[in-house]
Structure 1
């Protein structure tokens, strides 16, 4: 896409600090560096979000995540964990509409990164949960 910042980074029209690249992906530092080593993994093919992947592209992109995550962790003995985030849609905090995975190294509980998971335990009945599951199952593809 002509106006996509990630496509421009992939095409070297905008500089980035690249840590890994192959025919399918480019992994580079997020300019925000939420924590030191914060890396984005993007497919070279422009896909908007997780819903736009075909199975082949998904396999080629997502199989590299563990390798890159291990390299980031091994690069700094102070890293004690890592958040791996993939946001889809503006409401889910996707700010660039080119699919990307955030690898956010964690150094402590107080390292300026947080996530909040609401606890809705017991809000839905067992019947409601079963109905939700059936609705999803009807749309699964093998």
Structure 2
């Protein structure tokens, strides 16, 4: 199966480009939440965020910040923004090439993006500490792992 983002990067598919350098490319989403919804992806094909290099991750977010600043000073309606990345199909990832969304938001735009605390249970501090320890004890060995 061919990756649509790889095709866009190679100019085999059309896109409205915002930014490009050696590591990343940014273009407008064809199914935007609002006008100015940008996708930033690495040029190297990688499905999972956790398998990107530290340099790719850092650069992805630095470019994201620059693009969001540009949106704010443009005439695109933007009172705030959602920056999000879905990692894996269960998390809503539709294109299996890791990418960051920057979606301008404004009052009354009709979109709801976020988490509802009303559907979540409040965990005890003891339970939260147990979960934190499970993650902490694997954080250094996970740096080199591939998933």
TM-score by length of 1: 0.90
How many angstroms apart in 2 are the aligned matches of 1:33 and 1:56? 27
Superposition map of 1:110-125 within 5 A: 110-119=108-117, 120=120, 122=122, 124-125=123-124
Instruction: Tell me the equivalent position of 1:4.
Output: 3
Alpha-carbon offset, residue 126 of structure 1: 1.8
Gaps of 5+ in 2: none
TM-score by length of 2: 0.87
Gaps of 5+ in 1: none
- Between the two proteins, the alignment pairs up a number of residues equal to 139
Root-mean-square deviation (CA, aligned residues, Å) is 1.6
Instruction: Tell me the equivalent position of 1:66.
Output: 65
How many angstroms apart in 2 are the aligned matches of 1:66 and 1:43? 15
Superposition map of 1:1-142 within 5 A: 3-76=2-75, 78-108=77-107, 110-119=108-117, 120=120, 122=122, 124-141=123-140
The structure with the greater share of residues assigned to helix is 2
How many angstroms apart in 2 are the aligned matches of 1:46 and 1:94? 15
Alpha-carbon offset, residue 77 of structure 1: 5.9
Moved over 3 A (4+): none
